[in-house]
Amino acid sequence: MLIWPTCLVQFLVRSVLHTKVALSRSTSLCLMDTLLSLPRCILPLKHPNISSQSGAICLDILKDQWSPALTLKTALLSVQALLSAPEPDDPQDAVVAQQYLRDYPTFMGTARYWTEAFAMTSSLGVEEKVQKLVEMGFPEALVKSTLVSVNGDENMALEKLCSG
């Protein structure tokens, strides 16, 4: 089972914050337009259904199978399911899909390396962590105090900021 929670959490935070901002600016804005402009991973991932170049996610409900009846929760659960169960027969990244099918141990080794190199942020300094969380839309003063309260753990700070 493959799961990259950092990407999913950042996708969720950006989606929710962007949706709140967009909806507060215009009541006629369609939620579908907001969601369809967002489905990208901002971290490099080794996954057959996510472009290693652009971060584009290959998931039908984020493209042509979208329906207004689908909620943000449904979209995020679908992304989580896709991350957990790759579909190499319908890839976004054909090279990664071929490696997944033909040389799974190498695929897993590279995926593990990319996760450690790009998703684990424990080596970041405090200022880099602050900047990263501020870019997600949180106020700088709140980010700094939250990071202090969780002893610099960026993921815990993000959870605390999201929970209000």
Residues tagged active-site: 58
3-class secondary-structure state, position 56: strand
What counts of helices (H) and strands (E) characterise the chain? 8, 0
Buried b (16+ CB within 10 A) or exposed e, 68-82: eebeeeebbebbbeb
Distance, in Å, from the CA atom of 32 to the CA atom of 42, rounded to the nearest integer, reads 20
Whole-Å CA distances, 122 to 16, 36, 119, 137: 25, 31, 9, 21
Distance, in Å, from the CA atom of 121 to the CA atom of 9, rounded to the nearest integer, reads 14
